[in-house]
Amino acid sequence: MASQGGLLGAVMLSTMNYEFVVRQSKDGQYYFTYRNSRGNTEPICWSENYTTKQACLDAIDKVKYGAGKAPITDLT
């Protein structure tokens, strides 16, 4: 098996330093942020609010599954 080098290897290594963080807002709803788990931990992005924690976790799974395959649509 060939080693994971080049851009793919760099992407795989860089994603190991990122995490999803589930939080609960003051009104009791749940949301997640995606951030670097080392150094600058300011969120890269965040979700909408979900009424249940399970719905929030399901949304994380959908992002994890689909983000790598999603095309970039530039509307500028």
pLDDT in tens, 13-68: 455 689 999 999 999 999 999 999 888 889 999 999 999 999 999 999 999 998 88
Residue 73 lies in a domain: no
Residue 61 lies in a domain: yes
- Torsion, Cα 5 11 17 21, to 10 degrees, reads -150
Strands 43-46 and 30-36: antiparallel
Residue 35 sits in which domain range?
Answer: 17-67
Residue 12 lies in a domain: no
Say which CATH number the domain at 36 has: 3.30.160.160
Is a pLDDT exceeding 70 seen at residue 9?
A: no
Is a pLDDT exceeding 60 seen at residue 4?
A: no
pTM score > 0.85 for this model?
no
d(CA 30, CA 47): 9
Count of the separate structural domains present in the chain = 1
